[in-house]
């Protein structure tokens, strides 16, 4: 008969318990993360969101820095809510929402729901990007364009 050392059996038992416990914890952690990410979207009002610890306000204008990658030239454009602008007859930019932290710090975080469209020679719009862009964490979500870099700088009331 095969003799298995007691230490080896104990190791296998502890290992399997650890693996199954980790799987159960991972699934509950994922549920908690999902709930925390989307909990702010389910709130009925700004006051409910602020009770969660998120303090900020919505604004009607976004300021965007546009850097020409080849020339190194930067333009600052102001885009009003629901009033798209054309940039160099190539790109249309539309702001759907703009939010900024109320905290008094050097660079309060701004977030804007932005849509970018390219304009064809027949003046047809082709949506290239639609999503949130963050001023303090541009790498999370950004519009990639071969000619220009788009950086959200601020949300303001115009």
pLDDT digits (tens, 9 = 90+) for 55-85: 788 999 999 999 999 999 999 999 999 899 9
Whether residue 1 lies inside any domain: the answer is no
Question: Quick one: 34 and 79 in the same domain?
Answer: no
Query: What is the pTM for the complete model shown?
Result: 0.64
Question: Quick one: 146 and 109 in the same domain?
Answer: yes
Q: From its phi and psi, is residue 18 left (phi > 0), alpha (psi between -120 and 50) or beta?
A: alpha
Number of domains into which the chain is organized: 2
> In Å, how far are 69, 112, 143 from 146, measured between CA atoms?
8, 22, 10
Question: Quick one: 19 and 66 in the same domain?
Answer: no
Whether residue 127 lies inside any domain: the answer is yes
Q: Taking residues 40-51, what's their average pLDDT?
A: 53
Whether residue 148 lies inside any domain: the answer is yes
Q: In whole angstroms, what is the distance from residue 108 CA to residue 129 CA?
A: 24
Whether residue 105 lies inside any domain: the answer is yes
Question: Quick one: 106 and 75 in the same domain?
Answer: yes
Whether residue 51 lies inside any domain: the answer is no
Provide the pLDDT for residue 141. Answer: 82
Q: Taking residues 109-117, what's their average pLDDT?
A: 92
Q: Which residues constitute the domain of residue 85?
A: 56-156
Reference 97, options 51, 48, 134, 52; nearest CA is 134
- Give the range among 29-33, 42-46, 64-68 with minimum mean pLDDT: 29-33
Express each pLDDT in 99-108 by its tens digit: 998 877 777 7
Question: Quick one: 82 and 137 in the same domain?
Answer: yes
Q: In whole angstroms, what is the distance from residue 151 CA to residue 105 CA?
A: 19
| SS3 per residue for the chain | CCCCCHHHHHHHHHHHHHHHHHHHHHHHHHHHHHHHHHHHHHCCCHHHHHHCCCCEEECCEEEEEEEECCCCCEEEEEEEECECEEECCCEEEEEEEEEEECCCCCCCCEEEEEEEEEECCCCCEEEEEEEEEECCCCCCCCCCCCCEEEEEEEEECC
Whether residue 96 lies inside any domain: the answer is yes
Question: Quick one: 13 and 77 in the same domain?
Answer: no
Question: Quick one: 84 and 149 in the same domain?
Answer: yes
Question: Quick one: 18 and 92 in the same domain?
Answer: no
Question: Quick one: 103 and 131 in the same domain?
Answer: yes
């Amino acid at each position: 008969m095969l003799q298995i050392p007691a230490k080896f059996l104990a190791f296998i038992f502890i290992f399997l318990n650890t693996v199954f416990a980790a799987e159960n914890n991972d699934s509950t952690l994922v549920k908690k993360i999902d709930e925390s990410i989307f909990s702010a979207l389910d709130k009925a009002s700004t006051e409910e969101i602020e009770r969660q610890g998120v303090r900020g306000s919505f604004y009607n204008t976004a300021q965007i820095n546009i850097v020409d990658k080849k020339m190194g030239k930067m333009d600052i454009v102001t885009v009003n809510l629901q009033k798209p602008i054309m940039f160099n007859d190539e790109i249309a930019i539309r702001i759907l929402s703009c939010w900024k932290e109320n905290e008094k710090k050097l660079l309060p975080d701004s977030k804007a729901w932005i849509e970018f469209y390219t304009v064809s020679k027949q003046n047809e719009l082709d949506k290239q990007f639609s999503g949130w862009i963050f001023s303090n964490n541009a790498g999370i979500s950004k519009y990639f364009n071969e000619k220009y870099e788009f950086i959200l700088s601020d949300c303001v009331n115009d």
